[in-house]
Structures are given as C-alpha cells and as structure tokens.
Structure 1
Amino acid sequence: MARSPPPPPSAGGAQYAQQFLNTALSQRGPSALPYAEDVKWLIRNHLVALAEAFPSLHPKAALFTHNDGRAAHLLQADGTIPIHHAGASYNLPAVIWLPEPYPRSPPLVFLSPTRDMVIKPHHPLVDRSGLVANAPYLRSWVFPSSNLVDLVRSLSHLFGLDPPLFTRNPPPPAAAPTPTNPSPQPPPPRVSPSPSPSYRLGGFPASPQLAPRPPPTEDPAEVFKRNAVVKLVDMAYADAAALRTAREAEVDALFTVQAELRHRGDLVAQGVRKMGEEKEALERRLQDVMMATDVVEAWVTENTRRGNTQASEDAIQPADVLSRQMIECTAADLALEDTIYALDKAIQEGSVPFDGYLRSVRALSRKQFFHRALSAKVHTAQQQAKVASMAARAPQYAS
C-alpha cells in the first residue's frame, strides 16, 4: 500500500496567501484575472480564510481549460483535504478552482489522485474524472454567505464517511527461478516480518476491487448509519437553502416597503413644512389686517364723537386711478338712472310736457350709455391688472 505524497509547504501560510492575492488581484490590463471588480475583495477573504483554516490548501494562479476549449488564468486552492476514516487520518489531494463568475456561482472541486491511487467506482459524490459534482454544499451554494472554508469542512466530513480514493494493491512478487544444479544450499535466514507502516498522514485503505482476497463484509448497521447520515446532511443543506431563499425574498420585500415608506415620509415632511410656511404667512397677514382694523375703528370712533360727517365720507379712498374712475362712472350711472326715474314720475303726474320729457330722456340716456361703456372698459383694465399681479406672485407660491 503506497503512501500519498505530503502536501507542499504553505510558504508562509495566511501571510503568504495575503501577499500573493494582493498582487494577483490588483493586476490590470491583459494580465488581470477575469473576476468582477466588486467581488475581488471577497475572493481574497475567502482564500485567506481557507489558508488559515486548512494550511494544506494554498492559493495559486494557473491556466484552466473549459469544456468548450476556452483557456483562462484562474485562481485555485491546491493541496490536500484532511479526512478521518475508521479511526485514522488521511489527506485527499484536491484542487479547488474559482471560475470567472465566482463567488456568485460555486467553485469547481477536483480530486487529483496520484499514480498509486484510484477513484472509487460509483461514488455518490465524485465521478470518474475526479470532479466533485454532487456535494450538497455545492448544490445549495448561495451568494454571498457561502464560502470555501465551510465547503472544505463539509467535504471533509462526507469523505470521511465514504472515502472516494483508495491505494492500488502492489503486484505480487515474481517467483524465484529454480537453479539447474540442485546443489545443497544453506537455508536462507529467517526474517521476521516487520509490521506494515501506518499511513495515517497520506495513505488510504486498499481498493476492494483490486485486492487479491475478498474484503470482509461490511456491517449492515454501519452501512445503514453511513447512508442515513449522508441523507440527513443532504436534506439539511436542501432545507437550509430553501429557507435562506425564502428569507432573502422576505428581506427584499421588506427593503422595498421600507424604501417606499421613506419616500412617503419625505413627501409628508415636505407637505408639513409647506403648510407651516403658509400658516406663518397667514398669521402675518392676519396681524396686518387686525392692525388696520384697529386703526380704522379708532378713526371712526374719534370722528363719530366729533360729529364730522364730511370726514366719514372721505374715509374710504380709491386704491388707484382705475378704481377712482370706476367709482365715478358708477356714481354718474346711478345718478342718471335716478333722474330718468324722476322724469317718469313727472310725466305720469303731468308736471312735464311730453316733448320736453322725450328730449330730456334722450340726452340722459346718451350720457348713461357713455358712462356704462367707460365703466366696462375700466372693469376690463382692472381684470387684466389683477391677472398680471397674480402672475407676478406665482413664483413666490411655487417656491
């Protein structure tokens, strides 16, 4: 039974891994590694943590050829994966490749058996080429929580239950040729058989397919226990992945609701702020009106006590020229209307001759028409001035 070669030294362990990854991931141009810029720091942390937890796996950069023939320089973790089987410790030679979409997609794990090793046929996790394709942790890989340390720990546990590699059995020794001259020879010295060395650091159990003697029958209880543990681990990973997916969907929905509530809160705060500004403006306007009311009431009280009726008539003054013209036109129109009404009463009583009545009504109606026409023009001018004033104050309300 051959011993597997020990893993190469880690060349400084985690410190060397940090220095190598800082240099490899910081390169730009044609020599840059084909990873997204936003995940390079996460890739570095994954490989450094792997080197700290498993010193037998150290990062490298090598050429990887895809199934379609494409070649790319990718990062890998090369070395051995420690396992415990049947009370002994072994090291599985393996290479963990990080493809271009890593860590959003799982890595590629290959077992690299030496010349004296063979992959166990029909292994549930490893195919003939050495690719670890059916590991539960790889099938339930979730970004960004999944990492290389947990992957290697899961593989170490599963491979310890069912090792995928075995050592080849050495060929039987050739028979010694029979001498032609049967002269008596001294009997060869008896050599006591030395115990076979323990290969707990690199060797693997002999392959039952290549052993010259049939292996002992496994205990059905142990086989059932091992299969049950593998099934339970697989179910646990599947349930954890489904639960994680559901919780991530719920968290995304809550984040969306939170963003909508924050946006609505900003709108409400803006509306409250505008209402406060409008309230302050109205309060200032109310104070101005109350002050003006006090002044008018004081003026009316003082002039009423003095009995100055002329001053009361002059208390209200037009605001502008258009208002003054409107007051004059309206007053003249009403005065002419009263005069025509008085002539109607006079003609009914016979106080005014009919010819004089017609001439007076015609002249008064003409004057009334001109006053009403002028009043309509003044009203139109006032409306235009009011629209212009509102347009001038519009930016203040918009701000």
Structure 2
Amino acid sequence: MMSQQTLEHPEALVLNNMTVYPNPTNPDLNNTRLWLRNALANVPYLHQDRVFRDVDATLAVFKALIPKTDIYAHDDGTVEVLLCLYGTIPITFRSTPYNIPVAFWIPTDYPMVPPIAFVVPTSNMLVKKSQHVDVSGRCSHPYLEHWNPPPHNEESNLVSLCSLLQNIFGQNPPVYTRPTSQPSLPAPPPPPPLLQQPVNGIQQHSPVLRAYSPTPPPLPPPPPYQPSSNMNVNRPRSHSSTIPPVLPISRYATTSPLPTRSSSLHPQISNESQLSVPSILDTPPLPIITPSPAPLPTTQNPELVKLQSMVYDKVKHKCEEYVQKTSPELNRNMSIGEHLNQDQERIIEERKQLIEKDARIKEKTEILRGKIAEIDKLIEQAKNMPDVSVDDILCGTTIVYNQLFDLIAEDNAIEDATYYLGKALSSEKIDLNSYMKNIRTLAREQFMRRALIQKVRRQAGLDKINKP
C-alpha cells in the first residue's frame, strides 16, 4: 500500500508521484518546521494548521520519526500524495529497550479521520499478527475505530495515537527476528579488533567478543523479536548502547537511507565467559558452552508462547473491562464515603455545641427556679398581710402635719377646678354668669385654705426651714 521516491535535493517540493523529504542532516527543528509548512502548502489538506500543530508536537515527542511526502495507495486502488511520518518509536519489553519501525500516514481530511498506522518491518524482521496488528502490518485499535474529531474531543490526535501504540507494543512487540541459520563460531587465539558493519546504509558497530570457546555447537534460531542486531553477553564488564532507528521498507520502491543515530555495543568478557543469545521469551540465560558437544538449550514451544500470550491478552482485557465497569461505582462509593466522613465530623462538632448549650440552659433553669420560688414566697406573705387604706398609708407623723396635708390637697383641688372652669368657658359649655359665680366661691374657699396653711406652717415651724 506504500511507495516512495527519494529526491536528490530535499528542499525542492515536487508532487506528481514524487517524494519530498526535509533535509535530515540538519538537526535544527526550525528547518524541519519550515519544510513542513512548505510541504503542507503543496498537499491539499483541509486543516493545514491542525496537521502542522499535531505533526510538530509528534516530532518533538518522538524524535526518531522523520516527515516526508509520498504516494499512498488506498485499498480501492486510488493513489494520492500524503504526508508520512516514518522511523521508529522506542519501547521497553521485559526491561530491555527496543525500537519498532513504523509509518504514520496523515489523510487529507485529518483530524476528521484518523491517521493510518503501519508497522514496517526491516529485511531481517517479520510481522507478528496480533489483536492490533494484521499480517500486512496495519494497526487497528478501538481508539481508531471510535475516533472522535474536534471540536467534540481534542484528545483524538496523532501524539496520543503514537503514545497508545508505544504502550501496546511494549506489552506485545509486533515484530520478531526472521529465523536464519548461523555458522558455528571459531575460536581465534587473539582477540579481534572492533569491526564496523553497515546495516541498510547506516554504519553500526557490531558487538565483539574478547575470546570464544573452541568449536561450540551451532546456535539455535533466535527467538521472536530481538533488539536491532545487538547481542547480550554474560557478565559484561562495561557496555554502552543506543538503539538505532530502523528505516521503513516501501512496498513499491526502495528508499535511500538517511543519516541517523547509530548504535554500538562493546561488551568485554573473560576467557571463561561464553556467548549467549538474547531472548525476550526466555528469561534465564543459555548454559555455558563447553568444548565437548552439548545438547542445545531448551526453548519454549512457540505455540505455547502464543497460547500464553492469547490467554494473557484475554485476562488483561477482562480485567480492564471489570475495572471500567466497577470504576464508576467505586468512585461513587468513595465520594459518598468522603461526604459521610465530613458529615460525621460536622455532627460531632454540632453535638459538642449542643452539649455545651444544654449545660448552660440547665444552669439558667436552676437560677430561674430559685427566683420563682422567692417570688412565690413573697406572694404568700403579701396574701397574709391585712388590707390597708391608702389614706392610712399616706399620712403625716403628727396631727398638725395631717391637717397641713389635707389643706394642701384641698388647695390643689381648688386650683384644678378653677382651671377646668376656664376651659369650659372657652368651649362655651357654661355661660359667663355661671363661671363668675363658681369662680367667686372657689376663690373664697382657696383664700381660706391658704390662710390656714400659712398659720399651720408657722405653728409647725416649717417657715423657718424654707428660709435661707
């Protein structure tokens, strides 16, 4: 479904069945972005800004991917020029790093439709069919089948797809090494120097052994999927390794290699150490090879490994379904538990406040009951007391004082009567003759009362008290 044609001048943008590459020798990301802008301008993408943003973010995260424009052939036979990200994505399988060769094709309707992902094996690799990778290397996943384009969902993008496939390939690698026959290793007396062996046009250091056992038996075929041409050595004294990216293989034409990072591995072993072949299926190392013929190390049955992998995937799928099914209920129960804990603390605080208020109310109630008892006692005493006239209560200490009290009361009464007679005359309730007659009578009586008051005051000696 894929083909490519490499140009001698990557800066030139040529379509019509021509492949356009950025300059891979220039590590500057700005030049890559400039090339990407120019490439998108020549490809009819509906959302060029979104394509540029997602591709730029993907290149920033997965630095082993390289952009290009190439011809893509659809299943119905139609072909068109699309932007492609090819290279490798790093994974870690059983604590060992590997690089998986992939290619991501960006449709012209992106992000309304998902990218097209392929696993592109090298010449020494084979695709391992699995739940998410078919025999042709095309990747499938519910994430792609239920692609939800923006603005409904911003999480459907190229970076998320690459990260998802990275996690999936880390659990079940999609490729394995092609079985090849290997000759027996001779045992040269002197240690050989470091050798360099080109792989797909890329210079790569091969691992070198300081010494070999004499005439070991032929090694068994390598188990499925090994890191790119690197070999493990028992008890290495020192080593440094970088995994090289593997270039994709086109289905219609070959691709000229681009300069990329190389990998090297320089293990050093003693004369007693023997060579072991790395295996991602067999965790224990191979037994030591002795000069005498020895039986080949036992390896697991591929069918059994496949069955175990299928069982593992099924159990994992069931566990994920169970977790997804129970997570909402668990989260809801945890939320209810948090609310109950908060309510319990609030109830404890309110109960404490109510206890304090109850103690204060009981104290005030006791005080109130004591006061009520005192009032009831005073009421009983008042009921037992005899009735007393007001005149008996308001009286002087002597007869003279009682006479003076009565005279002053009569004088004030006459004064009030005179006042109300004046108001009655003003309101014409009485005539002038009646008013004058009553006034003369009241004035005469008032004169007599006041004269008697002065006489009583002189006899009682009250005039001396008022004088300064």
If the TM-score is normalised by the length of the shorter chain, which range does it land in? Answer: 0.3 to 0.5
Q: Which has the higher helix share?
A: 1
Q: Calculate the TM-score normalised by the size of structure 1.
A: 0.45
Q: Calculate the TM-score normalised by the size of structure 2.
A: 0.39
**Which has the larger Rg?**
2
